[in-house]
């Protein structure tokens, strides 16, 4: 019998989706598990091998509740927990909703997950909404470590425009500063359901704005000060971001309620703001 090809999926599994780093298949026997294996892409095998090493490291020290759980490392990939709601970006785009309390809670959970991976010398290098999963309990799980930086090895992937640090060297090396910048952009996406910059903007234009310190206005947003602090390099590590979120929760969040409408003649959006104080319920101050 010939040897199985490296990219062969498990027998009886069903294809779910593909990404830049690999292919996702359902488990043939366990509904709550998925297989992630490499694709035909020449870089995929290398990236999946990196992900296997990263998950082996996590499994040896104890996995984090807000990082996707790896059940087993196999020859051609990894077996991971399945998130019922898929990734957060697609969830929002498909009309999924979340209370403001949930969004703030997810930001805190994400900061905690980033602090955990940084403590293991892992640099995700592509923090954004598409790499955050939402499980059945409506908790987020950071995912996709294929090509991430690990133990001094540079990442082979890079952050999206608007998430990437404006300094190319920081972004290339996925430094902590670059990761915190991307964390701020991801928190913006969690809170607003949108990316910081429209896909209609040319990448060169966005890069020019970031190089000149031009970011979206966040003064009206819950955690707006924290998001801007991430962009401006205020926080030396993700733990400080998590603590800033916790402090904002404990103090109560002053936010603006965004009311918008479109004029029938010009299709121009008009906006008004109403200040209020958001008082979080006690259960949202826990992980």
**DSSP states of the chain as a string?**
-PPPPTTPPPTT--EEEE-SS-EEEE-SS-TTEEEEE--SSTTHHHHHHHHHHHHHHHHHH---TTBPPEEEEETTEEEEEPPTT-BHHHHHHTT----HHHHHHHHHHHHHHHHHHHHTTEE-S--SGGGEEE-TTS-EEE---TT-EETTBPPS--PPTTTS-SSHHHHHHT-HHHHHHHHHHHHHHHHHSS-SS-TTS-HHHHHHHHHTT-----TTSTTHHHHHHHHTT--SSHHHHHHHHHHHHHH-EEEEEEEEEE-TTT--EEEEEEEEEE---GGGG--
Does residue 174 contact residue 181 with C-beta atoms inside 8 Å? no
261 against 177, higher pLDDT: 177
- How confident is the prediction for the chain on average, in pLDDT? 86
Per-residue confidence (pLDDT) for residue 274, from 0 to 100: 37
| Length of the chain counted residue by residue | 287
Does residue 200 contact residue 194 with C-beta atoms inside 8 Å? no
pLDDT band at 254 (very low <50, low <70, confident <90, very high): low
254 against 234, higher pLDDT: 234
The pairs formed by 88-92 with CB atoms below 8 angstroms and a separation of 24 or more are 88/129, 88/130, 88/132, 88/133, 88/134, 88/140, 88/189, 88/190, 89/128, 89/129, 89/130, 89/132, 89/189, 90/130, 91/134, 92/129, 92/193
> In the predicted model, what is the mean pLDDT of residues 61-72?
97
User: How many CB atoms within 10 Å of residue 152?
Assistant: 7
**Cα separation of 107 and 162, whole Å?**
18
pLDDT band at 272 (very low <50, low <70, confident <90, very high): very low
Does residue 161 contact residue 204 with C-beta atoms inside 8 Å? no
153 against 9, higher pLDDT: 153
**Cα separation of 22 and 74, whole Å?**
14
* pTM exceeding the 0.75 threshold for the entire prediction: yes
Q: Is residue 277's pLDDT more than 90?
A: no
Does residue 129 contact residue 189 with C-beta atoms inside 8 Å? yes
Q: At what angle do helices 176-192 and 100-119 cross, to 10 degrees?
A: 160
The token duo for 221 is 């947003």
Q: Is residue 283's pLDDT more than 80?
A: no
């Amino acid at each position: 019998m010939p040897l199985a090809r490296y990219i062969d999926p498990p027998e009886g599994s069903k294809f779910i989706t593909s990404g830049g780093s690999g292919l996702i298949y359902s488990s043939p026997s366990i509904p709550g598990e998925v297989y992630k294996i490499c694709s035909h892409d020449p870089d995929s095998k290398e990236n999946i091998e990196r992900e296997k090493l990263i998950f082996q490291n996590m499994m040896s020290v104890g996995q984090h509740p807000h990082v996707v759980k790896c059940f087993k490392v196999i020859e051609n990939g990894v077996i991971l927990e399945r998130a019922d709601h898929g990734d957060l970006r697609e969830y929002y785009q498909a009309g999924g909703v979340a209370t403001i309390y949930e969004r703030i809670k997810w930001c805190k959970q994400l900061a905690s997950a980033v602090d955990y991976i940084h403590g293991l010398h892992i640099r995700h290098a592509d923090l954004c909404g598409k790499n955050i999963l939402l499980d059945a309990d409506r908790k987020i799980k950071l995912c996709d470590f294929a090509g991430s930086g690990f133990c001094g090895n540079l990442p082979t992937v890079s952050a999206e425009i608007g998430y990437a640090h404006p300094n190319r060297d920081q972004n290339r090396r996925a430094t902590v500063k670059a990761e915190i910048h991307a964390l701020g952009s991801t928190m913006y996406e969690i809170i607003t359901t949108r990316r910081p910059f429209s896909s209609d903007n040319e990448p060169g234009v966005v890069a020019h704005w970031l190089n000149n310190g031009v970011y979206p206005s966040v003064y009206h947003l819950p955690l707006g000060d924290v998001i801007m602090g991430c962009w401006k390099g205020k926080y030396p590590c993700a733990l400080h971001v998590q603590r800033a979120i916790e402090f904002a929760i404990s103090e109560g969040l002053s936010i603006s309620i965004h009311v918008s409408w479109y004029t029938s003649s010009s299709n121009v959006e008009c906006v008004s703001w109403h200040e209020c104080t958001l008082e979080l319920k006690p259960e949202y101050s826990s992980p």
